[in-house]
Structure 1
Amino acid sequence: MPEALKMGKEEELLKTAPFDPRFPNQNQTKHCYTSFLDYKRCVKARGEKYAPCDYFKKVYTSLCPFAWVEKWEEQISEGKFAGNI
């Protein structure tokens, strides 16, 4: 499978985020940020083990540059994040 990535004994199928009609343009920055917020809100409301939250995580990890996510996580831990979670 060319689209599969071998990780140890498991294979993980890599996919990009599906089309979302709320974000029809090529610039996906807003989609990235919204998915990050949706994931954090979902985890806050339902907990880490609630499987449907993983959808938002897959979307933001597919769309967002790692440096942005790292910065947002740092801001959250410092209490300086501007988003409403």
Structure 2
Amino acid sequence: MSEETKAFTLQTASFDARFPNQNQTKHCWQNYVDYYKCINAKGEEFTPCKQFFRAYHSLCPNEWVSIWPD
């Protein structure tokens, strides 16, 4: 291996407040998890749970949502 190859590492870019709409993966997943925690604790008709549902449906790619269990 050359010196150039050894020094190069791949990593995800850190959060940049100038671009708040980029890479919402963490927010997507957290809203999905919070929705299921909420409905398990309070039931599907509990209004605040619906906010988590709407949030993860708007943040997450449709391909992900379609394969996640309901």
* TM-score computed with the length of structure 2 as normaliser: 0.65
Q: State the Cα RMSD in Å.
A: 1.6
Count residues in correspondence: 51
Q: Report the TM-score, using the length of structure 1 for normalisation.
A: 0.54
Instruction: Find runs of 4+ consecutive structure 1 residues off by over 4 angstroms.
Output: none
Q: What stretches of structure 1 of length at least 5 have no aligned partner? A: 1-23, 77-85
Q: In the alignment, is residue 33 of structure 1 matched against residue 48 of structure 2?
A: no
Greater strand proportion: 1
Q: Which has the higher helix share?
A: 2
Gaps of 5+ in 2: 1-19
Max Rg structure: 2
- % identical aligned pairs: 51
CA distance in 2, matches of 1:63, 1:37: 13
Q: In structure 1, how many angstroms separate the alpha carbons of the residues matched to 2:59 and 2:21?
A: 13
